[in-house]
């Protein structure tokens, strides 16, 4: 992407120069909804669009974090700088991240070419966190070649990862029904690469054959999802997995700019919906009360009343 202008904000300039302390500060900033966060994001926009963004998702316990740890080592041997946004489940008490992912990626803690950030989902559906797109942009603007995004791993509502990544890796293990359960949940529909992890502990060959057969019934056209056996501890299959993910990212019909534009449209829709929700909940004019009464008495539908409210906002 062509830089539109040099950042005037000192933090944005430091991030674009790759300063680690600034990157950490920026990630904390963009987790909020402040005016400063919005201004910062605007400042770095012209510096984004260069990184390859790879998403990893799958049922909890399938080994995503250990797999990422192995992938980082492989990418670093190629001279690539890697950032990881690992979304952890939220603590029900503090709302913070449990930080389990960082504990499994300590091999790279002292590597200046690696930046790992654990994030709290804070109850956000989709296996991610609300402002994950902003954090990916921070890493992108900071010059990281590859950004890896790990979801919470609920296995049910993770379609959102398709909006922010160039390629998606779905990780599962066999022998415990995880593969079939994932198919039922529809999580495999988003896969560009399907990984059967912990291949040393399970009958990987049988599981791979079962998954290929199941995928053949669901896939249409020329879209073929490779099924790869991996062992994160030994490094088996890591190169094949990353090569397949990169091929998927490069082979999409839409350009990265097109996908970014589609994501921005989605984000605009989400932000608009949040603003309208705030208007509805905070309305003191009596209009919302009247509309609610009409709905409660069966006089009008919710959709008709919502249309009236939107018309009122635009008038």
The 10s digit of each residue's pLDDT in 146-183 is 999 998 764 444 567 877 888 999 888 766 555 555 55
pLDDT of amino acid 261? 77
More confident: 301 or 206 = 301
DSSP code per residue over the chain: ----S---SHHHHHHHTT-HHHHHHHHHHHTS--HHHHHHHHHHGGG-S-SEEEEEE-STTS-HHHHHHHHHHHHHHTT--EEEEEEEPBPTTT--B--HHHHTTGGGTT-TTEEEEEEE-TT-SSSS-TTHHHHHHHHHHTT-SEEEEE----SSS-GGGGGT-SEEEEEE-SSSSHHHHHHHHTGGGG-SEEEE--TTTTTHHHHHHHHHHHHHHH--TT----EEE-BTTTTBTHHHHHHHHHHHHHT-SS-HHHHHHHHHHHHHHHHHHHHHHHHHHH--SSHHHHHHHHHHTTSS-HHHHHHHHHHHHH-
Domain boundaries in the chain?
1-47, 50-251, 261-314
The 10s digit of each residue's pLDDT in 84-102 is 998 865 443 344 444 545 5
pLDDT of amino acid 269? 85
For the domain covering 50-251, report its CATH number: 3.40.50.300
CB neighbour list of residue 263: distance below 8 Å, 6 or more residues apart: 133, 163, 164
- pLDDT at position 241 over 90: yes
Share of the chain above pLDDT 70, in %: 76
Q: Tell me, yes or no, if the pTM score tops 0.85.
A: no
The 10s digit of each residue's pLDDT in 29-41 is 998 888 999 899 9
pLDDT of amino acid 30? 92
On whether the CB atoms of residues 155 and 187 are closer than 8 A, the answer is yes
């Amino acid at each position: 992407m062509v830089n539109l202008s040099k950042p005037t904000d000192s933090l944005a300039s430091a991030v674009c120069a790759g300063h680690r302390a600034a990157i950490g500060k920026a990630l904390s900033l963009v987790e909020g909804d402040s005016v400063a966060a919005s201004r910062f994001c605007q400042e770095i926009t012209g510096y984004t669009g260069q990184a390859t963004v790879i998403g990893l998702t799958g049922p909890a316990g399938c080994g995503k974090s250990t797999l990422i740890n192995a992938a980082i080592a492989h990418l670093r041997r190629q001279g690539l700088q890697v950032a990881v946004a690992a979304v952890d489940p939220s603590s029900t008490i503090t709302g913070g991240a449990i930080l389990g992912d960082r504990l499994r990626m300590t091999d790279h803690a002292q590597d200046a070419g690696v930046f790992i950030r654990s994030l709290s989902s804070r109850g956000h559906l989709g296996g991610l966190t609300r402002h994950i797109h902003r954090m990916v942009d921070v890493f992108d603007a900071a010059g990281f070649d590859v950004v890896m995004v790990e979801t919470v791993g609920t296995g049910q509502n993770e379609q959102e990862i398709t909006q922010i990544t160039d390629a998606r890796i779905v990780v599962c293990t066999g022998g415990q029904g995880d593969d079939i359960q994932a198919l039922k949940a529809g999580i495999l529909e988003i896969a560009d690469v399907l990984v059967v992890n912990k291949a040393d502990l399970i009958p990987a060959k049988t599981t791979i054959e079962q998954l290929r057969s199941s995928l053949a019934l669901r896939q249409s056209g020329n879209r073929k999802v490779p099924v790869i056996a991996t062992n994160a501890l030994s490094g088996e299959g890591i190169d094949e997995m990353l090569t397949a993910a990169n091929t998927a990212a490069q082979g999409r019909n839409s350009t990265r700019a097109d996908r970014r534009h589609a994501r921005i449209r989605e984000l605009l829709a989400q932000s608009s919906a949040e603003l309208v929700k705030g208007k509805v909940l905070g309305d003191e004019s009596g209009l919302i009360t009247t509309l609610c009464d009409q709905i409660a008495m069966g006089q009008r539908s919710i959709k008709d009343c919502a249309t009236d409210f939107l018309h009122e906002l635009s008038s």
